[in-house]
Amino acid sequence: MMTPGETRTRLGNRHALIAPDGLVPGALPGISGAVVNVVISPAMGAGFTQLLLTFEAEGHAIFAPGAVESCAYVMAGSCTARIDQSAESLRAGGFVFVPAGTRLELSQPDPGTRVTVFQKHYSLLAGVPAPAPVVGNANDVAGHPFLGDPDARLKTLLPDMPAFDMAVNLFTFQPGARLPFVETHVMEHGLIVLEGEGVYRLEESWYPVAAGDAIWMAPYCAQWFVAMGRGPASYLYFKNINRSPLK
Ligand code: UGY
Ligand code: MN
C-alpha cells in the first residue's frame, strides 16, 4: 500500500514513469463504455500518444479517419476490430494497425478488456505509398534473440518497411536478462510493462518497475533495463522509425 501523499510516478522533461496508482480517466471523443487514460501525450512533450482503454460491457471506441495512424494491442480480454468494412476478432496478444485515413472501431469487448493504443501523425515519405492495415497476434510472431542474447527476445509486430514510420515491439526478458548497453538514440519510446518486474534506468534515475507501469522516453533519453523478478518480464513499446530527423 502506498503511503498517503506518495506516488511512484515521476514526470521530467526527458522521461516519465507513470505508475497505475496515479492514473485519472478522461473522456475522449468516439469512446464510450470504457475507462480512458491518456498515459503519454504531446502535453508532456512526446511526439505521439499512448492510450490505455479498459472496456466495460458494451464499450465502444471509434478512431475516425484522419491524419493520425493507430496501433491497438489487446493486453487482456477480447474485442472485435472493424477496419473499414472488415471485422477481426482480437484476443489477448491481438493487435491491429490502421494507417492514417482509415477508420478503426473496437467493439464487443469482454468486460475488463484492456487495450493499449499508440497513435501518431503519419509522416509521408515521398515516392512511397502509405502502409496498409495490419492485423495479427503476438503469439504468432517469432521472438528473436536481441543482439545475440537468447534470454532477451524481441518480437517486431509491424513490418519493418520504409512505408511504416512507427514500430510496435514486444520485448521479453528472462530473470536477470538485460539490455546489453545503455541505449541513447534519437527515436522516442512509449512503453507499458505487461508482466514481471525489473529496474529501468532513465537518464540518471533507476526505477523499480512492474506490470502496469508505463514509461515515456524522449529522444536521446539514456535507457537500460534489467529483469529482476522470479519470472520473465515483458514490455510492449512504441518507437518512431524510418524518417529523417530533419523534418
Ligand atoms: O528498440 C529499442 O530501441 C529498444 N532496444 N529499446 C528499449 O527496449 N528501451
Ligand atoms: Mn531503445
CATH 2.60.120.10 fits 140-240, yes or no: yes
The closest-lying atom of ligand 1 relative to the alpha carbon of residue 146 is 5
The span from the CA of 240 to the CA of 190, in Å, is 10
Give the residues surrounding ligand 1 with Cβ less than 6 Å away: 171, 179, 183, 189, 223, 239
Instruction: Residue 111: count other Cβ atoms within 10 Å of its Cβ.
Output: 12
Residue 2: what pLDDT?
A: 82
Domain coordinates in residue numbering, the chain: 23-138, 140-240
pLDDT of residue 1: 73
Domain spanning 23-138: CATH superfamily: Jelly Rolls (2.60.120.10)
Answer whether 23-138 and 140-240 agree in fold: yes
Q: How far is the CA of 239 from the centre of ligand 2 (A)?
A: 8
Segments in the chain below pLDDT 70 = none
Distance of CA 227 to the CA centre of its chain: 19
Surrounding residues of ion ligand 2, Cβ less than 5 A = 183
Q: How far is the CA of 45 from the centre of ligand 2 (A)?
A: 17
The whole-number pLDDT of residue 80 equals: 98
- Spacing, Cα 225 to ligand 1 middle (Å): 9
Q: What is the pLDDT of residue 144?
A: 98
Its sign, for the CA torsion 99, 105, 110, 115, is positive
**In the prediction, which pLDDT does 220 show?**
98
Buried residues in 26-64 as b, exposed as e (16+ CB within 10 A): eebeebeebbbbbbbbeebbbbbbbbbbbbeeebbbebe
Residue with C-alpha cell 503476438? Answer: 138
